[in-house]
């Protein structure tokens, strides 16, 4: 049985909106709304959702880059929000991030070597042969020692992302949070980077939290997936189960919106009408009811609770059974 290394409990983040002449709070962006999940060592768990669903905010909360409005993030048995600056610095060694934009991931005035060596300086690691370490890291991600002399603008998108990954594994982390790591890259480079990530996962026994809007990438890369909509997790299952038997209407809509590169499989119906509502004015009851074909009175009034339908397959919907039956 592998151990649970990360527990997210009732995590909530509301961003205040300040306006008016005397600059007071006039509203809230309910970015993350009572999110809970667990990560076991060696897992590769995906979070999928569209813009505004809160997945990036979840990533930043777990890394303690922003403060939560409520809830806990328990890493290796301790709530990270209770840490002091010094303790957090130690934990940062274990939790790293690979974010979407390789173009602004580095100080443009630092060479690759300087950017990577800064980590050792910040973490006050003195007994390290920095040059050797950096060359070793570059090799691990498929780059050559010469690349350490380059400035970010001299590298391609794929090469930059490799350096980002090198930076992430410098301190031997246990958990890496990847937020759209390949979305800004070309398709042919994307597959290279995904293969690289797989390799180093096996090599260093890493746990991944993989955030993306691209369901096909998540299906390939992750073993478990959570679907987020407007700050809430609406469905959670293994990738196989989710794609074979999606239960939540939003999940179904997402899956059917995928354009497969096969001209024989063209979409016949538009899965979802309307725009994503704003996380400022959340619909009452089930957050999805405004776009749901199956919404009824109870959906408008009461928030559905997550229910386990089959082993480890959870869904938060009042009518999932009825929808299943209708479609069979």
> For residues 77 and 144, which CB has a smaller minimum distance to other proteins in the complex?
144
Q: Which of residues 257-286 bind other proteins (CB under 8 A)?
A: 257-267, 270-273, 275-276
User: What is the widest separation between alpha-carbon atoms in the chain?
Assistant: 66
Of the candidates 163, 156, 63, the residue with the CA atom closest to the CA atom of residue 111:
163
Calpha distance 54→14 (Å, rounded): 10
Measured CA to CA, the distance from residue 77 to residue 56 in angstroms comes to 24
Contact (Cβ atoms closer than 8 angstroms) between residue 36 and residue 231: no
> Closer to other proteins at the Cβ: 148 or 207?
148
Give residues 198-227 in contact with other proteins (rule: CB under 8 A).
198, 213-217, 219-221
Residue range at the interface with other proteins (CB under 8 A); choices 7-15, 93-101, 297-305, 308-316: 93-101
Closer CB to other proteins, 5 or 272, in the complex? 272
By CB under 8 A, tell whether 190 contacts other proteins: yes
Contact between 247 and 322 (Cβ < 8 Å): no
CB of 64 to other proteins, least distance (A): 8
Which residues have CB under 8 Å from 187's CB, separation 6+?
Answer: none
Site for other proteins in 152-171 (CB under 8 A): 153, 156-159, 167
CA dist 323 and 52 (Å) reads 26
Residues 103-132 that bind other proteins (CB under 8 A): 104-109, 111, 113, 115, 118-119, 122-123
Q: Which of 39, 32, 43, 41 is nearest to 71 (CA)?
A: 32
Q: How far apart are CA 220 and CA 327, in angstroms?
A: 26
> With binding defined as CB under 8 A, does residue 187 bind other proteins?
yes
85 binding other proteins? (CB under 8 A): yes
Name the segment binding other proteins (CB under 8 A); options: 29-37, 69-77, 184-192, 312-320.
Answer: 184-192
Q: How far is the CB of 107 from other proteins (least distance, A)?
A: 5
């Amino acid at each position: 049985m592998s151990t649970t290394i990360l527990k997210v409990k009732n995590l909530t983040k509301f961003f205040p909106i300040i306006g008016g002449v005397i600059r007071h709070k006039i509203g809230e962006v309910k970015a993350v709304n009572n999110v809970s999940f667990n990560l076991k060592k060696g897992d590769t768990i995906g979070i999928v959702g569209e813009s505004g669903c809160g997945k990036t905010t979840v990533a930043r909360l777990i890394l303690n880059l922003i403060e939560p409005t409520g809830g806990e993030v328990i890493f290796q048995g301790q709530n990270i929000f209770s840490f002091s600056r010094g303790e957090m610095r130690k934990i940062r060694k274990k939790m790293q991030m690979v974010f979407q934009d390789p173009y602004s991931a580095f100080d443009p005035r630092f060479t690759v070597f300087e950017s990577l060596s800064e980590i050792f300086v910040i973490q006050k690691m003195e007994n390290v042969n920095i040059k050797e370490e950096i060359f070793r890291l570059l090799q691990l991600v498929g780059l050559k020692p010469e690349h350490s002399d380059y400035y970010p603008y001299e590298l391609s998108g794929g090469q930059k992302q490799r350096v980002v990954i090198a930076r992430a594994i410098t301190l031997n982390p246990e958990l890496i949070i990847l937020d759209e790591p390949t979305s800004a890259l070309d398709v042919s480079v994307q597959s290279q980077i995904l293969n690289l990530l797989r390799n180093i996962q096996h090599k260093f026994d890493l746990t991944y939290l993989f955030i993306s809007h691209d369901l096909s990438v998540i299906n390939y890369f992750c073993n478990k997936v959570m679907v987020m909509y407007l700050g809430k997790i609406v469905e959670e299952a293994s990738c196989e189960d989710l794609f074979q038997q999606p239960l939540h209407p939003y999940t179904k809509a997402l899956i059917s919106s995928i354009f497969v590169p096969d001209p024989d499989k063209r979409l016949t119906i538009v899965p979802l009408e309307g725009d994503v509502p704003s996380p400022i004015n959340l619909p009452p009851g089930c957050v999805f009811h405004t776009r749901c074909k199956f919404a009824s009175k109870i959906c408008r009034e009461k928030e559905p609770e997550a229910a386990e339908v089959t082993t480890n397959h959870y869904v938060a919907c009042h009518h999932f059974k009825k929808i299943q039956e209708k479609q069979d």
